[in-house]
Structure formats: C-alpha cells, structure tokens
Structure 1
C-alpha cells in the first residue's frame, strides 16, 4: 500500500469514538495500487457520542467466537459491501481505543488477521502493559469522514482511509511513572480489510501524522 491511496472521495459526517492512536506507524500486509480498480464514496454515518460496547465474555482460551463478535458489532458493519467495510473499520478503531482503556484485547484480536503486524503488536503491547500492572489512558478522538473513502481491489481486499484527531496516549506504570507513547494531533490511517463469513477483519494498517 502506498503512503496515500489514489482518488480519495469525500462525505460530510464525523464519527466520535473513544480511544487513542499510538505514535508508532507500522505497515502490514498491504499491496500497491495495481489491484485497486474501484473508488466508492464513504457512506454517511450518524454522529453520536461514544457508548460502552455490550459485554461478551470470551471463551476459556481468551478468544471470542465469530458468534460473540457478531453480537457486538453494529449492524452496518455486517454488510458485505463498501459501506460495511467502512463501518467495520470505524468499529475496529473503536475496539483499539477500548482495548487501551480496558486492557481487554479480545475484540481487537478477533477482528484482526494474524498477519496484520500492526494489529498483533498493538494487542501485545496492551497485554504486556496491563500484565505488568500498568494502565493506559487516552482521550476521545474524532474520526473525520470528510476525507474518508473506501477502495475496492481486485485482490479481494477493501481499503479504507480515515483521518482522526487524537489526544495523547499515556501509560501509567505501577510505580507511578507516566510515559507518553502517542502524541496528540491529527493522524491519517489506512486499513486493509477482508471479509470472512459475515465479519470484516483487518489485514493491514498504515498510520502516519497528517500534517
């Protein structure tokens, strides 16, 4: 995946989500532009205040089943079309933020493919921090769909690009030490998604400062 995807479209609605973006940007499993054949404007999403996700207890191995994930996901994210991919991308970002704040990475892992390096490493960082007795805080961030779009590729993947205004992300160690791991500011990220059954899963993430 290039630093920017071609032919970015536009819509007019913003979606507020709880969570934080990290400063580190990793690219995992993305392809170049050759497979991208269609540009689809991102559908309008109703702006709303963040609300806690329903609670679903993971299975004994700590992983959520597809049925448990489907019970958590918004209805729009279950559509196997570009609009569904967009809704799933927004929900994945929400799941990332909630994982930081709660220390529970089961939803984040369930919506990510194993070869998504960014997904796996962020989940690992969260698990390690909380296992060491730390907590993580980060304010709400705004996902602005004015510069968002989806791109459908002939490689079977759908690409979603979003811009987000993020608050700082801070790790609070058990000793009381605080470390800023994500600076406040505007970020642009691209997600590569693949439908598996009725669930869109993230196969790659590219994140950069939008300056």
Structure 2
C-alpha cells in the first residue's frame, strides 16, 4: 500500500502537478518545535474531541495564519486517528486539492474500519509572509513520526516509517472572519 499520511499525499499531489502557487520562499523567522498529543484509540473505542482552534489562529494577521496552519496539521492528525473528517473539511476551501485528497483517503480507510495510530506531524520551523491577494503563505518544515494503520480489532494492517524533514508552503486565505486552507505545496 502507498504511504498513507498527509505528507505522502502532499508529495504525490506536488509531483502530479499540484503546484505550490508561489515562487518566493520566505525565510523562517522562528524556529520552534511543536509536538502534539496523539489520540491512540482503536476504531472500537470512544472518539476524542477534535482539537480546538487556538485563539491566535483566529486572528487575521500573519501570526494568526501561522497558528492556523499549525492547527490544520493537528486536525489532520486527529482525522487520521479517528476517521472524523468534518473538522478538517471545515478548515479547507472546497477547491483545495490536498485537503480533498486527504479527506477522501481518511474516509475510505474509515469505511474499511481502519484508523491511524501514532501519527505526529511535528512542525520544526514556520514563517508567515504575505501571499497573493487571497491571503498568506506559511513556509514550514515538518517531519512525520512513525505510524501504523490498525483495524477495529487493533491488528496492524500497515506501518509507515518516520519521514525526513520536508519543506512545504501552506497557503491560507482570508475568508473574512476566519482562515481557510486553499493549497499546500512541497518546496523543492
């Protein structure tokens, strides 16, 4: 089976023609590591609540866009761990290819009774800068942890090793009173 986590989906879309959109790459101005708590419930256990959006991610500033992009990765982890894609769908524009591909993959696995355990997308660096007239580009370096796909009985169906560092541009649009993700591209 193909690598099932979001970074693999991003790479596949980028290689298949999903462009990053912008040619400029802002230099990271902050370097912080964020490791999020991971739900580890099997498909038969109680589903945890989705991550709450941080107050800073609601601010319509570059710092708010950065916090929103980090929150998006937290919600991706939650969606893969639970099969619940509604919070992920709420953060994305309907035209976002990577968002739609991730949601479709998560839903397909959930229909098969599969969830992902141990997924952690660690943000190593991030920097937000003005993008085009739609919003802000957040340039991030991320790394994905080891993870595994398990069925409802907790049997491991697939394992995925940790990724190396991957640089991505996360494009977020100002949707008036909130941010929405509209594209992610791998920086090559």
Match of 1:106 in 2: 86
Cα RMSD (Å): 3.2
Deviates more, 1:92-101 or 1:47-56: 47-56
Task: Give yes or no for contact 1:22–1:183 (8 Å, CA) kept in 2.
Answer: no
Give unmatched runs, 5+ long, in structure 1.
Answer: 1-19, 57-68
Superposition deviation, residue 151 in structure 1:
2.1
Superposition deviation, residue 106 in structure 1:
1.0
Match of 1:86 in 2: 66
TM-score, normalised with respect to structure 1: 0.66
Query: How many residue pairs are counted as aligned between the two chains?
Result: 170
Match of 2:104 in 1: 124
TM-score, normalised with respect to structure 2: 0.74
Match of 1:76 in 2: 56
Superposition deviation, residue 114 in structure 1:
1.1
Match of 1:31 in 2: 21
Give unmatched runs, 5+ long, in structure 2.
Answer: 40-47
Superposition deviation, residue 93 in structure 1:
0.7
Of Structure 1 and Structure 2, the greater strand share is in 1
Match of 1:17 in 2: none
Q: In the superposition, relative to structure 1, how do residues 180 and 22 fare at CA in structure 2: closer, same or farther (>3 Å)?
A: farther
- C-alpha offsets along residues 121-141 of structure 1, whole Å, 9 cap, x if unaligned? 101111110111112123434
1:157-196 matches, cutoff 5 A: 157-173=135-151, 176=155, 178-180=157-159, 183-196=162-175
Q: In the superposition, relative to structure 1, how do residues 49 and 184 fare at CA in structure 2: closer, same or farther (>3 Å)?
A: closer
Matched, 1:205 2:184: yes
Q: In the superposition, relative to structure 1, how do residues 95 and 76 fare at CA in structure 2: closer, same or farther (>3 Å)?
A: same
Q: In the superposition, relative to structure 1, how do residues 142 and 40 fare at CA in structure 2: closer, same or farther (>3 Å)?
A: closer
Distance 1:48 1:115 in 2: 28
Task: Give yes or no for contact 1:43–1:83 (8 Å, CA) kept in 2.
Answer: no
Task: Give yes or no for contact 1:112–1:202 (8 Å, CA) kept in 2.
Answer: yes
Task: Give yes or no for contact 2:118–2:148 (8 Å, CA) kept in 1.
Answer: yes
